[in-house]
Amino acid sequence: MPVTFITGAAGFIGFHLARRLLERGDPVVGLDNLNPYYDVSLKEARLQQLQAYPHFSFYRADLEDPQSVAHIFETHHPDVVVNLAAQAGVRYSLQNPFAYVNSNLVGFLNVLEGCRHHPVRHLVYASSSSVYGANTKIPFSVSDSVDHPVSLYAATKKANELMAHAYSHLYCIPSTGLRFFTVYGPWGRPDMALFLFTRAILEERPIDVFNYGRMQRDFTYIDDIVEGIVRVIERPPAARTSSAPGAGSTAPHRVYNIGNHQPVELLRLIEILERCLGKPAIKNLLPMQPGDVLATYADVEDLVRDTGFCPSTPIEVGVARFVEWYRSFYAVS
């Protein structure tokens, strides 16, 4: 049975992907350091669910520790690696830049070295819509230039794509980068807007609404993200051959957007959330924050063409599911 190694297995996306694979009977090896960037008890609760499956193995370790990563490759010889571990958050990168270099660059290098010395069928890794940075052309296409990041977090994700391509080219590692667009849903991250807003509204506290609520985000429901990852896993890229001038890379490497391709204004999200919670929000309208972008909007044509899948969960449905989970998990009415 093919083994999948998931880094960041106790994280939001990693947990959902691991559970999906475990439910269909796949062996999964997970790594996570359970760092305190956000509530560790939430990560532990996710992990507890995964550990109920007999074919789940877990290592609590730092991705930037080369010995720990090498040990997993040597012990389990994974067929597929999905790198989801990263120091997340655009605004936090302004406060603690070294965390991003250690996790997102050094950690990813350790994964690439593992794939180099223990060849895998497919390396899938998380990139981000943040790589589009200051781009004003929408929707964002994978063919667009992404040379102008506006946060260190975005720069590390762009660097991941370049590093993966180099290893793909040098060592023929089939690899696919996934640019995720504002993922939300049950078991989500407490530092994300939907989680922060829900908690504050229920506690009747003001919510900070940046750019006066006029930002747009391509909110993508977690089940759509996981379905996209699962479909991509089964389609490792092949090396291309071309002698045409300017034909581009021949490495077995590619990049996809995974987004709902339907941007939603922040004020609209708040309206939907107010309806689901049955309570009004107290809005603290603020100007744009450094590192933020006005809008994100995914062109998913390549993903649809190659996998036959198009994310499509309506924001109203996804927010309602999140609120239902939140009320249940935190036992609030």
HEC sequence for the chain: CCCEEEECCCCHHHHHHHHHHHHCCCCEEEEECCCCCCCHHHHHHHHHHHCCCCCEEEEECCCCCHHHHHHHHHHHCCCEEEECCCCCCCHHHHCCHHHHHHHHHHHHHHHHHHHHHCCCCEEEEEEEHHHHCCCCCCCECCCCCCCCCCCHHHHHHHHHHHHHHHHHHHHCCCEEEEEECCEECCCCCCCCHHHHHHHHHHCCCEEEEEHHHCCEECCEEHHHHHHHHHHHHCCCCCCCCCCCCCCCCCCCEEEEEECCCCCEEHHHHHHHHHHHHCCCCEEEEECCCCCCCCECCECCHHHHHHHCCCCCCCHHHHHHHHHHHHHHHCCCC
Identify the pLDDT of residue 242: 61
pLDDT per position in the chain (333 positions), as tens?
899 999 999 999 999 999 999 999 999 999 999 999 999 999 999 999 999 999 999 999 999 999 999 999 999 999 999 999 998 877 788 888 999 999 999 999 999 999 999 999 999 999 999 999 978 888 999 999 999 998 899 999 999 999 999 999 999 999 999 999 999 999 999 999 999 999 999 999 999 999 999 999 999 999 999 999 999 999 999 988 764 444 568 999 999 999 999 999 999 999 999 999 999 999 999 999 887 888 999 999 999 999 999 999 999 999 999 999 999 999 997
For Cα atoms 14, 52, 32, give the angle at the middle one, nearest 5 degrees. 35
Catalytic residues: 153
Identify the pLDDT of residue 244: 46
Identify the pLDDT of residue 95: 86
pTM of the model: 0.95
Distances (CA, A) of 154 to 181, 261, 291: 13, 20, 9
